[in-house]
Structure 1
């Protein structure tokens, strides 16, 4: 092993360790890996940021903009209303929802498809008297499966195509992923609809007409004259015992007592931290005349907003949101947006800080109070999704037709081989701006910049693996030690390894790391690299065991009431099915 090879292996090991740790955002870790490789002399300084011009990165950014146009104009809403049954049973409803989600994910960003259908899934769960998670997890997995079917369905497919082009074999075509991807998606969706949704852990009671979102933490101020004054903690909880709420902390004179003794008496001015559903919090407010501890607006704010309609909305925090690792105070929720954070739900962990000081994480649920327009602006700017009827977007039928035509036109240009994907979809973005399906001010905000930076930073690092010979060294080790020179065993090894890595780190990062290794294995064995590259594409898209492998899994963490270990019950059988189905298909469609 040369010094350069040792350096790149060390940088990759630290990078993967940081991905697994989760303390820092994936794009920050990827940028650190890029700079470390450049400083170490493994990447030429003039090529360090060449990844930002890589066709795969440009295509991903453009697809995000076009997907935003489909959402904003209401084009997908119209399709959803026409294709989803209003009164069918669980299996038919689930099949229609997952089928639509998988189809949409093949032609737009799969996180966008999931965001569009989440409120529909929650309403469906209520209509069918199912737990929300029983619909949300199948939908998340269905949209991930759908992304495997086309070039633009998911970033790993575009990365794999880019590596094939750089290897001198040309890029994959738009539907080259379909023979295996569509077969796996159809089989996976069918398995989920027939059996899989029953394997989802049932974490909450049936939703009925409303939907469950896990226990919230709310801070209740006890004023003078409240019925709660003089009661013990135990007596307070007894009054609302039916709701299942409990007091998890008490703050008195700026001193917080966690799990206060049941015999401790409540005094005026105390702040009670209550854990419970929204109904329980409402009951506590009405029974004891306590109040939510809210930030007080300035006089000018009060004058400006006193005539506005004040509503409550539940929002889920997305991966890569602008408010991640920041608190309500940090982002100026009250001063900037005129909103109050009433409660926060984070499944599996109990916050031990003041509500407005808690740093927010992906999957958190926020109960927000304020004017609908302000909540809509906050959600758009900060990267949150509303749970419930999406009354914050005004459909425009004329622009919806334009948005759909632009997307279909871009796809046609790629499919017919008239233009490369990056150019075709960039033309689509230009057309979107000209026709105003995406307003100028929203073009850049529609792009998930952490994903773009992640891809752009890791592509040169992956190139360094090839240029230093590290990829070939690792490939030869795997072939000689594990696969014993057997190409089929090596193919299984690549597929399963990629699938495992995708479960514990970002799927795009997994594809960027595994592509050079796959190419090295194919070269060492003297076989076609296409089956190995396709194995990477499939494995990188199959992140079903954890909430961190894919953004769609993270989105349902709070709304479904899931814990970290809840995904494998459905995810593990699904991954086993995919391995068993995709391996023979790889050997037939892309023979060695």
Structure 2
């Protein structure tokens, strides 16, 4: 083993450990791996950022923008209204929603497709009297399965295609992935709809009625001699922190302010709406010399649900409670309510957080928010909607049809179809075709030019751009061939079919714990090295990587969609394998013979 091979293996091992640890975001890990490769001399400094100009990276960014155009124009809402059955049993309803998710994911961002259909799925679960997770997990898995059917369906397919072009061959075309991917997706969707949804653990979701705040909402009047007079709300909340209490509203001269600005000074005669644990309520009032105006909740001391407490607080009609699911890569991740200044910036309150089925209000202002959390927000509909759109959250409520302009919806659909068509028939390379689609979207205003860059998932772009040179270093240093020989000699023992199955299973296993794009970038050089060592075509091995990287069903961290349903479904880490494991067995059973049939060794 050469020195360069030792360096690149050490870098990849450290990167894999960091991906699994999850403390750093995946784009940070990828960038650190790239810089380490440059310092170690295995990645030429002149080529360090060449990955950002790679066609696969450009295509991913453009597809994200076009997906945003489909969402904003109302195209998806029309499909949802016309395709999903209003009255059907659970099997047919789940089959319909997962099938639609798979179709959408073949041509748009998987996370975007899931986010659009989640409110519909929750409404469907309520109508069928099912726990929300029974619909959400099939929906998430269906969107993942659909992504493997086309070139643009998921970033791993684009990465695999780019490695094929690096061999001197043409890149995979738009529908080269379809024969194998469609067979696997059809088998997986059939299993999920007929049998699989019954295997999903029945957990309570994080609806507002399920948030047990364990707290009183109490009105406390500020008397003339109260210590609170002249203090800002921020100063008062520092005192309330000791009792895990918070101010959720203020009444001044009969005018009620929800989520008052922390810089506002308290005056005599003001009424503070305080949320506090029952045991701590007396201490809160005495510390600030506040007078109990009127207990908002049950005087018997019974803990009230957040929804009931809010109703009892006699909030204005335009103030409501709404649950927001935090998207992967949301700007909220790792930040607290205090960090993002919820009240002063958005005019809303954070009342509770649900995380993996555990609900809490303790230290909400300083609790770091995580992807998959469900936030119970209080505020006006417009304020909550603006917050969700700007910060990367999905409102978990029934959506009305969003069709601001039927002409725009038609144009957005036509642009996507034209982009896909020109790439599919080879009229233009995929990156050029979709870049043209983005330009058309901006020209016809289906995507606002001001918001076009907001539609791009930049952490994914950085991940791809940084890892492509590192993955190429595996090939140039001979590390990929070394790993391939070890796999062949130790496990496959010269059998090509066994080697192909091994590549598929190893890729699937890594994808359950690592970002799928990172998994594809690491496994492609190994797949090519394995094929070269056996004197076989690289195509079936690359396709095995594409399928394996897209099939992360065992954990909530393997795919962004799995993370997104964690809170709304009330799931725990170990709930995924109960449906995911048999689904992955089906994937291997269908994919392996299809790979051999469509892409002969």
Kindly indicate whether the alpha-carbon contact (under 8 Å) linking 2:200 and 2:579 is maintained by their aligned counterparts in 1. Answer: yes
Kindly indicate whether the alpha-carbon contact (under 8 Å) linking 1:218 and 1:355 is maintained by their aligned counterparts in 2. Answer: no
Q: How does 1:360-375 map to 2 (within 5 A)?
A: 360-375=369-384
Q: How does 1:564-579 map to 2 (within 5 A)?
A: 564-579=573-588
Shift in CA distance, 447/64, structure 1 to aligned 2, threshold 3 Å: same
Which residue, out of 524, 534, 559, partners 2:533? Answer: 524
Provide the rounded CA distance (Å) in 1 between the counterparts of 2:433 and 2:111: 22
Provide the rounded CA distance (Å) in 2 between the counterparts of 1:497 and 1:216: 42
For residue 45 of structure 1, report the CA deviation from its aligned partner.
1.2
Kindly indicate whether the alpha-carbon contact (under 8 Å) linking 2:215 and 2:278 is maintained by their aligned counterparts in 1. Answer: no
Q: What corresponds to 2:248 in structure 1? A: none
Q: What corresponds to 1:480 in structure 2? A: 489
Report the more deviating stretch, 365-374 or 87-96: 365-374
Q: What corresponds to 2:29 in structure 1? A: 29
Provide the rounded CA distance (Å) in 2 between the counterparts of 1:113 and 1:265: 44
Q: Which consecutive residues of structure 2, in runs of 5 or more, have no partner in the other structure?
A: 222-237, 246-276, 288-294, 298-302
Give the secondary structure class of the aligned counterpart of 1:192: helix
Provide the rounded CA distance (Å) in 2 between the counterparts of 1:480 and 1:574: 29
Kindly indicate whether the alpha-carbon contact (under 8 Å) linking 2:213 and 2:304 is maintained by their aligned counterparts in 1. Answer: no
Q: What corresponds to 2:65 in structure 1? A: 65
Provide the rounded CA distance (Å) in 2 between the counterparts of 1:265 and 1:536: 56
Kindly indicate whether the alpha-carbon contact (under 8 Å) linking 1:309 and 1:372 is maintained by their aligned counterparts in 2. Answer: yes
* 2:305 is equivalent to residue 280 of structure 1: yes
Q: How does 1:120-139 map to 2 (within 5 A)?
A: 120-139=120-139
For residue 147 of structure 1, report the CA deviation from its aligned partner.
0.6
For residue 582 of structure 1, report the CA deviation from its aligned partner.
0.7
Provide the rounded CA distance (Å) in 2 between the counterparts of 1:560 and 1:497: 29
Provide the rounded CA distance (Å) in 2 between the counterparts of 1:368 and 1:472: 53
For residue 374 of structure 1, report the CA deviation from its aligned partner.
2.3
Q: What corresponds to 1:296 in structure 2? A: none
Provide the rounded CA distance (Å) in 2 between the counterparts of 1:442 and 1:431: 14
Shift in CA distance, 142/216, structure 1 to aligned 2, threshold 3 Å: farther
Q: What corresponds to 1:151 in structure 2? A: 151
Provide the rounded CA distance (Å) in 2 between the counterparts of 1:326 and 1:426: 34
Provide the rounded CA distance (Å) in 1 between the counterparts of 2:496 and 2:2: 27
Deviations 1:226-280 (A, max 9, x none): xxxxxxxxxxxxxxxxxxxxxxxxx99644599xxx99685252799x9xxx971
Q: How does 1:352-391 map to 2 (within 5 A)?
A: 353-391=362-400
For residue 221 of structure 1, report the CA deviation from its aligned partner.
5.3
Kindly indicate whether the alpha-carbon contact (under 8 Å) linking 2:101 and 2:139 is maintained by their aligned counterparts in 1. Answer: yes
Give the secondary structure class of the aligned counterpart of 1:336: helix
Q: What corresponds to 2:9 in structure 1? A: 9
Q: What corresponds to 1:538 in structure 2? A: 547
Q: Which consecutive residues of structure 1, in runs of 5 or more, have no partner in the other structure?
A: 226-250, 293-305
For residue 375 of structure 1, report the CA deviation from its aligned partner.
2.0
TM-score if structure 2 supplies the norm length? 0.85
Deviations 1:371-421 (A, max 9, x none): 322222211211111111234955321100000000000011011101110
Q: How does 1:492-531 map to 2 (within 5 A)?
A: 492-531=501-540
Shift in CA distance, 214/17, structure 1 to aligned 2, threshold 3 Å: farther
Provide the rounded CA distance (Å) in 2 between the counterparts of 1:253 and 1:173: 61
Shift in CA distance, 550/217, structure 1 to aligned 2, threshold 3 Å: farther
Provide the rounded CA distance (Å) in 1 between the counterparts of 2:405 and 2:48: 43
Kindly indicate whether the alpha-carbon contact (under 8 Å) linking 1:522 and 1:529 is maintained by their aligned counterparts in 2. Answer: yes
Shift in CA distance, 214/474, structure 1 to aligned 2, threshold 3 Å: farther
Kindly indicate whether the alpha-carbon contact (under 8 Å) linking 2:322 and 2:395 is maintained by their aligned counterparts in 1. Answer: yes
Shift in CA distance, 122/559, structure 1 to aligned 2, threshold 3 Å: same
Provide the rounded CA distance (Å) in 2 between the counterparts of 1:323 and 1:459: 28
Q: What corresponds to 1:434 in structure 2? A: 443
Q: How many residue pairs end up in the alignment? A: 540
Q: What corresponds to 2:455 in structure 1? A: 446
* 2:276 is equivalent to residue 267 of structure 1: no
Kindly indicate whether the alpha-carbon contact (under 8 Å) linking 2:133 and 2:569 is maintained by their aligned counterparts in 1. Answer: yes
Q: What corresponds to 1:589 in structure 2? A: 598
Provide the rounded CA distance (Å) in 2 between the counterparts of 1:133 and 1:33: 37
Q: What corresponds to 2:191 in structure 1? A: 191
Q: What corresponds to 2:558 in structure 1? A: 549
Q: What corresponds to 2:290 in structure 1? A: none
Kindly indicate whether the alpha-carbon contact (under 8 Å) linking 2:507 and 2:519 is maintained by their aligned counterparts in 1. Answer: yes
Q: What corresponds to 1:88 in structure 2? A: 88
Shift in CA distance, 131/538, structure 1 to aligned 2, threshold 3 Å: same
Provide the rounded CA distance (Å) in 2 between the counterparts of 1:351 and 1:472: 51
Which residue, out of 409, 418, 426, partners 2:427? Answer: 418
Q: What corresponds to 2:111 in structure 1? A: 111
Provide the rounded CA distance (Å) in 1 between the counterparts of 2:383 and 2:279: 40
Q: What corresponds to 1:313 in structure 2? A: 322
Kindly indicate whether the alpha-carbon contact (under 8 Å) linking 2:323 and 2:396 is maintained by their aligned counterparts in 1. Answer: yes
Provide the rounded CA distance (Å) in 2 between the counterparts of 1:213 and 1:61: 39
For residue 352 of structure 1, report the CA deviation from its aligned partner.
8.3
Provide the rounded CA distance (Å) in 2 between the counterparts of 1:340 and 1:254: 16
* 2:182 is equivalent to residue 182 of structure 1: yes
Deviations 1:312-354 (A, max 9, x none): 3211001101111011111121111222112211125565851
Shift in CA distance, 568/371, structure 1 to aligned 2, threshold 3 Å: same
Kindly indicate whether the alpha-carbon contact (under 8 Å) linking 1:372 and 1:392 is maintained by their aligned counterparts in 2. Answer: no
